[in-house]
Amino acid sequence: EKGQTVGAARPPEKPLVIVSFPPETRPPDPLRRLPAALAAGRVHPIQAPPARPSSDPMAWGAPARAQSSRVQALYDLCRRTFPSPSPSSAAAPAAPPPASAVRAISSLMDTISPADVGLRDDSLGDGGGGHGFFDSTFVKGAARAARWAQPITYLHVYECDAFSIGIFCLPTSAVIPLHDHPGMTVLSKILYGSMHVKSYDWVEPTVVASNRQVRLAKLHADDVLTAPCPTTVLYPQSGGNLHSFTSVASCAVLDVLAPPYAEDAGRICTYFNDYPFSSFSSGRAKTVDSPDNYAWIEAINSPVYINMRPGMYTGPTVQDRLS
Distance CA 127, CA 316 (A): 27
Distance CA 49, CA 225 (A): 24
Residue 83 lies in a domain: yes
Distance CA 180, CA 172 (A): 23
pLDDT value at position 290?
86
The H-or-E segment that residue 81 falls in is helix 70-81
Residue 321 lies in a domain: no
Amino acid (one-letter) located at 100: S
Residue 175 lies in a domain: yes
Boundaries of domain holding 71:
31-48+56-310
SS3 track for 31-45: HHHCCCCCCCCCCCC
Residue 322 lies in a domain: no
Q: In this predicted model, what pLDDT tens digit does every residue of 22-67 receive, in sequence order?
A: 444 444 444 444 433 333 333 333 333 343 333 343 333 334 444 4
Domains: count for the chain: 1
Q: What are phi and psi of 32, to 5 degrees?
A: -60, -25
Q: What are phi and psi of 62, to 5 degrees?
A: -80, 150
Distance CA 252, CA 265 (A): 29
Residue 225 lies in a domain: yes
Quote the strand ranges of the chain, DSSP E. Answer: 152-159, 164-170, 175-179, 185-202, 215-226, 232-234, 242-258, 271-276, 294-300, 308-310
Amino acid (one-letter) located at 236: P
Give this prediction's pTM: 0.73
CB atoms within 10 A of CB 115: 16
288 pLDDT tier (thresholds 50, 70, 90): confident
Q: What is the mean pLDDT of residues 279-299?
A: 81
Residue 17 lies in a domain: no
Residue 38 lies in a domain: yes
CATH number where 212 lies:
2.60.120.10
The H-or-E segment that residue 289 falls in is none
Q: In this predicted model, what pLDDT tens digit does every residue of 199-258 receive, in sequence order?
A: 999 999 888 887 788 999 999 999 999 999 999 999 999 999 999 999 999 999 999 999
pLDDT at position 198 over 90: yes
Residue 317 lies in a domain: no
| H helix and E strand count, the chain | 2, 10
| C-alpha torsion 200→204→205→209, nearest 10 | -20
Distance CA 223, CA 309 (A): 26
